Amino acid sequence: MKLKSDILVIGGGMAGLVAGIIAAESGATTLLLRKGQSATAYSSGAIDIIGYLPEATEPFSAPSEGLAAIAGLYPLHPYGVVGYGDNVAPEEVVDTIIERVRDSVVWLKDRLEGTIASVVGDFQSNFSPISILGTTKPTCLVQTTMNPGDIHEREDSVLLFAGITGYPDFNPSSASKTYLEDRIAMGQPPHKVGFCMTKIMPFGKSFNISSIEIARHLDHKGSIETLAEQIDVQVKRIGATHVAIPPVLGIRHALKSKLELEKAIGAEVFELLGFPPSIPGLRLQLALEEVYTKAGGKLLAGHEAISSSRKGKTINSILARSPRREISIDTKAIILATGKYIGGGIAGNENGIRETVFDIMTVTGEYHSAKDIVPSRVTHRLEISPMGQQIQTCGLSIDPQFRPIREDGLEWAENVFAAGAVLAGYNYSVEKSGLGVALTSGYGAAMNAVDRIKGVA
Amino acid sequence: MTDSEYDVVVIGGGSTGTAVARDCAMRGLKTLLLERDDIASATVGTCAGMISSGLKYSDEPDIMAMCSKEVVHFNHIACHIIMKNPILAPLLELSDAASDSSYVDSYSAHAEERDVPAMLFLTPEASREIEPMLHPDIIASVYYEEFFIDPFRLCMLQALDAINHGATVRTYCEVIGFDINNNTELEGIIFYNRVSGTTERVSTKLVINATGPWAHKIAKLADEELDIRLNKGAHVILDRRVVNVGITVKAIDGRWIYLFPHENTTLLGTTALDTWEDPDSLVASFDEIEYLLQSIETILPSIRETRIIRTMAGVRPLVPEWKRPEGKVTRGYRIIDHSETGKTKGLISFTGGKLVMCRHMAEAVTDLVCKKLGKAAACTTHTQALPGNDADVDVAALSKDFGISLHALERMRARRGTEMLKVLELTKEHPEWKTTICTCEPVIEAEMRYAIREEFPQTLNDLRRRLRLGTGPCQGTFCTYKAAAILSEELDLGGDDFLVDILDFRAERWKGIRQSMRGEQLAQEELTLGMYSCVGNLDQSDVDYDIKPWEEGF
């Protein structure tokens, strides 16, 4: 089978879908190959832009503050690269980065408006949503269903953590203790926190209940009422102004569930940031796919790019494989958004670290070749610390147009652009910058790809 | 005699220490066991669990005979935590078989006693029928059978049985000194309670130093010299049972190494390096991992396609025989009565020994203890069963009755035998405790709560030893936070303690993950960091986390 596209996106997570939407909206014929589930679908529902500098312990109160710091200290960070271009003067680099990241954030908010993953928050400031552990983290946007509202501002706020019996991913007693101890240490509201258990039994059993089962159950009309009745009693018991529940309010109708709950119990309800399998991650994934296909993009799920053919300085065709067929795709430009180890874009073993589709040169976070690096050598003896693990910063090095580069510093191919976690030079889990870099680089790479095909055409 | 006066204090909660405490208690001695960490937290926890027939020591016929007899005893007292593994030793050339074939005769001489067949030679075809992954060029293989025990459960059950017989077991109590009077008689023992942060003292008539690789350090507290040869052994752990039978091969340096299916994993080991390092900070090196992989690869060429989940490293406390390789050092044990070798009366130490001998070592030292205390009591540790050994359990019927997966119940039976019924009883009042918390192993919430209530764990790592929590391919990615919450509830811990428990367990898992990290484990680690650092923000947590020995330095 043979297909043709102007722009071919490889990878269907945040970076790939953002790139695909930009490409399709520009009028280019756009195809997107997706091998399996993306790391985006495992994400918590928060869209981080930048929360910390690597190794630093003071969070940024606003993304612009963090971006300025990154630009000064880590010019090769993907956010740093955003500021380069033929027409950007050196003194304009920081402002350019901030402006371009802001543009992509505004763009994303707009595209997600009205979808099942609509978001709140804005580029002006970071805020601190609560996780299922009871900890907080700085982020820029969260899904509307996860908005904790004025919980941290209202002096009289009282928070109730509501768990679900037989659903082990969230334990409200530990979370409430952790959260309250933290608030007391900071001397900030809420000054009162409680917890309760509720019963939701999608299949009539009270154990081994998964987030997917609960979310699907709550998507059904009328099923939120039994939950509302149970929570209402507990809200009255402790005088709760806010209720935190695990992120399971629904896949398609979570916002409706939230509003119904709030109306029934007279308190604000929000979902906590959770771990995989993540319903908010799934909502974000589905919402982006819908925006992409509405814009005219074509999605080939279950397809993996396995080889390519080169004509001079460009890659003009890709061979994709699914369990049932092989497709040869002729294309004018390619956006490589295959992710890192979860996504499968980067792989490593005792012989080194490599890029899996084209075998493009990989580098460490310090931009040394990662070709022969044994993974354990780029790890730190502390697993969870602000230093992070350098292995998570390995990936592709790019030029100002987001094109991966070779050993000699020149682009690997004139028409191949890269975005998201396949890129080197940022450590999203410590910086709290994951989906932000994916968004910004996907946006930037696609803009460049579009410019190129328009120029070429 | 007051509460804090003992006949005997045993130091060390490994296989030997728990066996000694059990024997002493069963003979009616007032016994205290002190362990500075947790039961089975050091050497025994890093072994393959083989209760060896002594095959490797065919030049020590007495030891072979003793090993074989001990296997019979274990099968009698702890059959619920024992598995039999058939083993192939495939040969690529004739010289791979040992030059002296006496081991065939000496193995076979004791085979009937253990109810296993005599050693067999198999054709290449027959060998590959058993294990298709074997190299096509093998010329024959040797077939034999060995028994394997869950080393964590063995130690735990010995400790619990000691308690059942009146002993006191104190974990997280580190011995820091002895009271020795002017007649050089040991009168008391001083230890630091690491949980409460206080120092305590008890009086005792005798002290048994069963501290394995720390034996010389404990002896030093009484100003006694103890020579010991410490030897590091590392394992690479593969996900699931990737071979049908155990495989042993001659390593690239001519030593024997093995690949054993073990519980839900496969163990590739071991290395042997003389060591002077702190046993707490040891990890497998890149060279050790490659040595093992290169060696097994000669017989199983596809081994690198398996998922390597972690490594583990431990220290053998060998008898001090020097100027010969580790494999040539006797596997026997020595009981050192310091009143004879030095001056301290009342202190007795061990060097050497193997897992399979732990009960025998205990019997020998308890005989000596009884003699010193003038007590006439016969050893019964080989006739009386350990808890849970009583009868077989019909897990298929239980699976139906309780609506719990057969696999989960089979794994629970392998840990607890008939004691699993007590766990299941809990689910009658709390059906939600049938929830699977560790999905890799698997472990249900009821067993976790039962273990917390009955088996005195302090940390998630202690729970791992009791339940195999977090030992599968995800290495605790998905169970760490769930289990920490349950531990917090049961022990009524604060919010900070909940986070510390998570960080502690992650640190312990990372110790073994880091060295061999490759392939799928890279994605697993990205996910772990995504959860605990990115979402949980625990990298920025300001809780009181103690740096672990293997995390120190640069």
Tell me whether B223 touches chain A (CB under 8 Å).
no
CB contact under 8 A, A388 and B515: no
Distance from C-alpha of B139 to C-alpha of B149, rounded to nearest angstrom: 32
Test mutation, A126, A177, A180, A354, chain B, max B CBs within 10 A: A177
- For residues B424 and B359, membership in a common domain is answered with no
User: Domain check: are B488 and B366 in the same one?
Assistant: no
User: What is the per-residue pLDDT across B283-309, written as a single tens digit (0 to 9) for each?
Assistant: 999 999 999 999 999 999 999 999 999
Q: Pairing state of beta strands A416-418 and A268-271?
A: unpaired
Residue type, B11: I
* Pair (B532, B434) in one structural domain: yes
Q: Containing domain of residue B20, as a range?
A: 5-43+152-228+331-373
Mean pLDDT of chain B: 95
Distance from the A376 Cα atom to the nearest Cα atom in chain B, whole angstroms: 6
DSSP assignments along A296-326, one per residue: T-EEEET-EEEEEEEETTEEEEEEEE-SS-E
What's domain A130-272's architecture? 3-Layer(aba) Sandwich (3.40)
- Distance between CA atoms of B511 and B118, rounded to whole angstroms? 41
- Within the 101-130 window of chain B, which residues sit less than 8 Å (CB to CB) from chain A? none
What is the distance between the alpha carbons of residues B146 and B117, in angstroms, rounded to a whole number? Answer: 11
Provide the token pair at A303.
């397809």
Q: Using one digit for the tens of pLDDT, what is the confidence trace for A121-180? A: 999 999 999 999 999 999 999 999 999 999 999 999 999 999 999 999 999 999 999 999
Cα separation of A46 and A273, whole Å? 7
Give the up-direction half-sphere exposure of residue B377: CA atoms within 13 A in the CB hemisphere: 20
Which chain A residue has the Cα nearest residue B543? Answer: A182
Rounded distance between C-alpha atoms, residue A26 and residue A162, angstroms: 45
Tell me which of B47 and B59 has the higher pLDDT: B47
In a domain, B63, yes or no: no
In a domain, B246, yes or no: no
Which chain A residues touch B516 with a CB distance below 8 Å? 376
Tell me if B508 is assigned to some domain: yes
Smallest CA–CA distance from B479 into chain A, residue = A169
Please say if the pLDDT value at position B99 is more than 70: no
Q: Side chain identity at A172, as an amino acid letter?
A: P
CA closest to A272 among chain B residues: B535
- State the pLDDT at residue B3: 64
Q: How far is A373 from chain B (nearest CA, A)?
A: 11
Reported as type and span, the H/E element at residue B313 is strand B308-318
- Asked if pLDDT for residue A276 goes beyond 70, the answer is yes
Closest CB from B486, B503, B517 relative to A384: B503
What is the arithmetic mean of pLDDT over A173-192? 97
- Please tell me which of the candidates B432, B486, B541 has its beta carbon nearest to residue A207: B432
| Residue B219 and residue B352 share a domain | yes
Flag whether B368 is in a domain.
Answer: yes
Cβ within 8 Å of A, B 236-265: none
Closest CA relative to residue A195, chosen from A244, A150, A152: A244
Q: Do β-strands A395-396 and A416-418 pair in parallel, antiparallel, or remain unpaired?
A: unpaired
Beta bridge partners of A121: none
B543 touches chain A (CB under 8 A): no
Indicate the residue of B432, B498, B547 with minimum beta-carbon distance to A165: B432
What does the mean pLDDT of chain A come to?
96
Nearest CA in chain B to A56: B540
Distance (Å) from the alpha carbon of A10 to chain B's nearest alpha carbon: 19
Q: Which residues of chain B neighbour A276 with C-beta distances below 8 Å?
A: 527, 531
Instruction: Confirm whether the ipTM is greater than 0.90.
Output: yes
Q: Out of B485, B509, B539, whose CB is closest to A386?
A: B539
Of chain A, the percentage scoring pLDDT greater than 70 comes to: 100
Q: Which residue of B has its CA nearest to A384?
A: B539
Q: Helical H runs in B374-419?
A: 395-402, 406-416
pLDDT for residue B1 is more than 60: no
Interchain proximity A131–B478, CB inside 8 Å:
no
Of the candidates A267, A271, A264, which has an alpha carbon nearest to the alpha carbon of residue A241?
A267
Flag whether B81 is in a domain. no
CA B502/CA B515 separation, integer angstroms: 21
Q: How many C-beta atoms surround the C-beta of residue B67 within 10 A?
A: 24
Summarize pLDDT for B356-415 with one digit per residue, the tens. Answer: 999 999 999 999 999 999 999 999 999 999 999 988 899 999 999 999 999 999 999 999
Task: Note whether B444 and B345 are same-domain residues.
Answer: no
Closest CA to A429 of B540, B480, B481: B540
Dihedrals phi, psi of A30, to nearest 5 degrees: -125, 130
What angle do the packed helices B460-467 and B151-164 form, to 10 degrees?
A: 100
Q: Which of B540, B542, B543 to mutate to test the interface with A (most CBs of A within 10 A)?
A: B540
Q: How confident is the model at residue A428 (pLDDT cuts 50, 70, 90)?
A: very high
For tokens 């760490």, name the residue: B480
Count of alpha carbons within 13 Å of B526, Cβ hemisphere only? 30
Residue where the block lists tokens 């509405």: A294
Q: How does pLDDT run across B195-232, given as a tens digit for each residue? A: 999 999 999 999 999 999 999 999 999 999 999 999 99
Whether residue B223 sits in one domain with residue B192: yes
Cβ–Cβ below 8 Å for B535 and A384: no
Query: How much of chain B, in percent, has pLDDT values that exceed 70?
Result: 99
- B133 falls within a domain: no
What is residue A60's three-state secondary structure? coil
Please tell me the predicted confidence (pLDDT) of residue B554. Answer: 57
Tell whether B193 lies on the interface with A, counting CB pairs under 8 A: no
In angstroms, the separation between the Cα of residue B478 and the nearest Cα of chain A is: 9
* Least confident range of A80-94, A241-255, B387-401: A80-94
> Which band of pLDDT confidence, cut at 50, 70 and 90, is reported for residue B418?
very high
CATH homologous superfamily of A2-113+283-456 equals: FAD/NAD(P)-binding domain (3.50.50.60)
CATH number, domain with residue B12: 3.50.50.60
Name the residue facing B526 among A274, A340, A381 (closest C-beta). A340
Report CB contact under 8 Å: B535, A273.
yes
Cβ-Cβ contacts under 8 Å between A and B: the total is: 181
Contact A174 B489 (CB under 8 A): yes
Is B551–A382 a contact, with Cβ atoms under 8 angstroms apart?
A: yes
* Cis-peptide into B270, omega within 30 deg: yes
Q: b/e string for A78-88 if b means 16 or more Cβ within 10 A?
A: bbbbbbeeeeb
Per-residue pLDDT at A88: 87
Mean pLDDT of A192-198: 98
Backbone angles phi, psi at B539, to 5 degrees: -65, -20
Q: How far is B155 from chain A (nearest CA, A)?
A: 30
Q: Contact B518/A168, CB-based, under 8 Å?
A: no
Assign 3-class secondary structure to A343-383: CCCEEEECCEEEECCCCCCEECCCCCECCCCCHHHHCCCCC
Closest-CA residue in chain A for B493? A174
Side chain identity, residue B23: D
Residues in chain A: 457
Residue B512 lies in a domain: yes
Closest A-chain CA to B508? A383
Q: Residue B20 falls within a domain, yes or no?
A: yes
Measuring CA to CA, how many Å separate A318 from each of A34, A334, A341, A416, B213?
14, 9, 22, 12, 59
Tell me the C-alpha to C-alpha distance, in Å, between residue A356 and each of A98, A395, B89, B470: 32, 11, 38, 30
Residues 469-508 of B with CB under 8 A from A: 478, 481-482, 484-486, 488-489, 494-496, 498-499, 502-503, 506-507
Best probe of the B interface among A180, A376, A431, A437, by most B CBs < 10 A, is A376
B435 contacts chain A (CB < 8 A)? yes
Give the β-pairing of B82-91 and B140-149.
Answer: antiparallel
- Any idea where the domains of chain A sit in the sequence? 2-113+283-456, 130-272
Give the nearest partner residue to A429 out of B435, B534, B541, using CB atoms: B534
- Bridge pairing between strands A268-271 and A242-245: parallel
Report the alpha-carbon distance of residue B469 to residue B485 in Å, rounded.
Answer: 14
pLDDT confidence bin for A56, thresholds 50/70/90: very high
B359 with B501, same domain?
A: no
Among candidates B286, B304, B436 on the partner chain, residue whose Cβ is nearest the Cβ of A376: B286
A43 chain-B contacts, CB cut-off 8 A? 530
- Chain B CB contacts of A386 under 8 Å are 539-540
Spatial separation of the C-alpha atoms in residues B477 and B457, rounded to whole Å: 20
First to last CA, chain B: 51
Q: What is the 3-state secondary structure (H, E, C) of B40-79?
A: CCCHHHHCCCEECCCHHHCCCHHHHHHHHHHHHHHHHHCH
Average pLDDT over residues A405-413: 96
Instruction: Verify whether the Cβ–Cβ distance A342 to B503 is below 8 Å.
Output: no
B168 CB near a chain A CB, below 8 Å? Answer: no
**B305 and A CB contact within 8 Å:** no
Q: How far apart are CA A162 and CA B121, in angstroms?
A: 64
Count the domains in chain B. Answer: 2
CA-based nearest residue in chain B for residue A343: B523
Task: Dihedral sign for Cα A85, A88, A90, A96, please.
Answer: negative
Residue type, B292: L
Residues of chain A neighbouring B478 (CB-CB closer than 8 A) = 275
Region A386-397: what's the mean pLDDT?
Answer: 97
Do residues B319 and B332 touch, judged by C-beta distance below 8 A? yes
Query: For chain B, what's the residue count?
Result: 554
Per DSSP, the residues of B451-517 read HHHHS---SHHHHHHHH-TT-STTTTTTTHHHHHHHHHHHHT--HHHHHHHHHHHHHHHHHHHGGG-
Q: Which residues of A touch B503 (CB under 8 A)?
A: 384
Nearest chain B Cα distance for residue A351, angstroms: 9
pLDDT at B100: 62
Contact A25, A15 (CB under 8 A): no
Does the distance separating the beta carbons of A383 and B510 come in below 8 Å? yes
Same domain, B428 and B350: no
Q: Find the helix or strand (DSSP H, E) in which B91 lies.
A: strand B82-91
